[in-house]
Homo-oligomer: A and B are copies of this chain.
């Protein structure tokens, strides 16, 4: 299939850009930034040229005329390539260029506005970003509401209404669960023994844990960045980053487990299909399910620490004499923070529920930009029982909107929901559950490989979950997990 060759060439270009992007975040000398931007822009122009070429369109049409069977991988690949092609071609070049300019200016304005806690400085930019998001939604088309069209780009085949139902179900109980978890933690909140936990020791420990989880260092590595991430530079080159706190080794460790979850997903995609939809991760919500599963369901569990705590104590002398139960109570501390990225498992999704509701209303035109701070604070008080002290700790805290990332936040909670549902299903497998209880994760990874990774993007996220777990996405397992751990 010539269209597959084209798709593979696109992957070569995009993965080359990933190398340059990874280097930019890890090792690039400061003075090298300007030239790096020019290199990345050249690569991105080549990618754009390729996907908008007449050859690409013709090769896709030629392949479609072969009429593959509906159920085949070939059919799924062509369907997804067509979907991407149509979505890309519905946006005029002018709009794409305008979106880039607007969000580039908006990012700077947002950073300044956040610094000064001055929403009015960001408001006109948010207005423009919303305008562009609505324009895109109109061009892509939707049946329900504009959020649908945006969501489709991150979590295809689902609807805003379906996400809203899940988030409402979750929020309904979570308000109570989180309040009780926080109250319980306030009563008993052990502190981690004072460090230092030297970076070199953290690196050794993290690498041992990541390897035991199944992250393949032959096809990956861990570097240091301010904001941890996972990136694919090739089918067998999936790299993680983390950051270190010498007073708390768990910060880098859970960063590594989270990113290794993403990384094992990428390492588990069918290599021979690299560059094709069948060799590509399907959605943000499924990607995040993998990171959350390893970070929270595995990494924060009692069985995990029964296995690893002695090794941690050997690695980190301050832990000697600190009982495992105290350590677990420290890990399971819940607290209400105004800041999403500082919040814990028991309270995280309240932040998402707030953002999802506000974004929907902004996109529907029922919430004016100037009213966002008030709506944020009111929504926040309703969920958390207090109001952030200013907009910097409130509606200005996240970078996402300034980058044009509207319709994105909900996928974090979808990830949490999917993670719990997948983990529960895996546990029910007699080859997996008992192994997890022994802190052996080979069978769990094999189950994820087979049930999730092997499908690439050939199934819609909801279908993937249904096929892997036996039921449609539901909040039941996630709520059960939170209650079991935090109450």
A1 interfacial by beta-carbon distance below 8 Å? no
Residues of B within 8 A of A31 (CB): 216, 218-219, 236-237
* Chain A 170-228 interface residues, beta-carbon cutoff 8 Å to B: 216-221, 223
User: Interface residues of A, CB < 8 Å — how many?
Assistant: 36
Residues of B within 8 A of A32 (CB): 219, 233-234, 236-237
How long is the Cα–Cα vector from A234 to B24 in the complex, in angstroms?
12
| A46 to B, closest residue via Cβ | B46
Q: Mark the stretch among A37-45, A161-169, A403-411, A425-433 that contacts chain B.
A: A37-45
| A37 to B, closest residue via Cβ | B234
How long is the Cα–Cα vector from A456 to B343 in the complex, in angstroms?
55
- B20 close to A16 (CB less than 8 A): yes
Q: Chain B nearest CB: distance from A276 CB in Å?
A: 15
How long is the Cα–Cα vector from A31 to B233 in the complex, in angstroms?
11
Q: Mark the stretch among A7-15, A83-91, A102-110 that contacts chain B.
A: A7-15
- A39 close to B19 (CB less than 8 A): yes
How long is the Cα–Cα vector from A20 to B217 in the complex, in angstroms?
19
Counting every copy of the chain, the complex holds 2
* Chain A 16-38 interface residues, beta-carbon cutoff 8 Å to B: 16, 19-20, 23, 27-32, 34-36, 38
How long is the Cα–Cα vector from A202 to B363 in the complex, in angstroms?
57
Starting from the known contacts A12-B38, A27-B221, A31-B219, 7 additional A-B residue pairs (CB-CB under 8 Å) come to A9-B42, A15-B39, A28-B237, A29-B237, A29-B239, A31-B216, A39-B234
Q: Chain B nearest CB: distance from A275 CB in Å?
A: 10
How long is the Cα–Cα vector from A28 to B29 in the complex, in angstroms?
19
A235 interfacial by beta-carbon distance below 8 Å? yes
How long is the Cα–Cα vector from A123 to B34 in the complex, in angstroms?
48
- B218 close to A29 (CB less than 8 A): yes
Q: Chain B nearest CB: distance from A36 CB in Å?
A: 7
- B16 close to A39 (CB less than 8 A): yes
- B234 close to A35 (CB less than 8 A): yes
| Contact A42 B16, CB 8 Å, known A35-B234, A35-B236, A237-B35 | yes
Q: List 27 A-B contacts (CB under 8 A).
A: A12-B38, A12-B42, A15-B39, A16-B16, A16-B42, A19-B19, A19-B39, A27-B27, A29-B217, A29-B218, A29-B219, A29-B220, A29-B221, A29-B236, A29-B237, A29-B239, A30-B219, A31-B218, A31-B219, A31-B236, A32-B233, A32-B236, A34-B236, A35-B234, A35-B236, A35-B237, A39-B234
Residues of B within 8 A of A28 (CB): 237
Which of B13, B36, B46 is the one whose CB lies under 8 Å from A237?
A: B36
Residues of B within 8 A of A12 (CB): 38-39, 42
* Chain A 317-356 interface residues, beta-carbon cutoff 8 Å to B: none
Q: Chain B nearest CB: distance from A441 CB in Å?
A: 21
| A239 to B, closest residue via Cβ | B29
| Residue picked from A13, A217, A234, most chain B C-beta under 10 Å | A234
How long is the Cα–Cα vector from A219 to B43 in the complex, in angstroms?
22
Q: Chain B nearest CB: distance from A70 CB in Å?
A: 32
| Residue picked from A16, A46, A236, most chain B C-beta under 10 Å | A16
How long is the Cα–Cα vector from A221 to B220 in the complex, in angstroms?
22
Residues of B within 8 A of A19 (CB): 19-20, 23, 39
- B23 close to A35 (CB less than 8 A): no
| A17 to B, closest residue via Cβ | B16
- A36 close to B218 (CB less than 8 A): no
How long is the Cα–Cα vector from A437 to B233 in the complex, in angstroms?
49
Closest 8 CB pairs of A and B: A32-B237, A35-B234, A31-B236, A31-B219, A31-B218, A12-B42, A16-B39, A32-B234
Residues of B within 8 A of A36 (CB): 234, 237
How long is the Cα–Cα vector from A76 to B135 in the complex, in angstroms?
51
* Chain A 37-62 interface residues, beta-carbon cutoff 8 Å to B: 38-39, 42-43, 46
How long is the Cα–Cα vector from A233 to B39 in the complex, in angstroms?
10
Residues of B within 8 A of A235 (CB): 35
How long is the Cα–Cα vector from A219 to B32 in the complex, in angstroms?
6
| A9 to B, closest residue via Cβ | B42
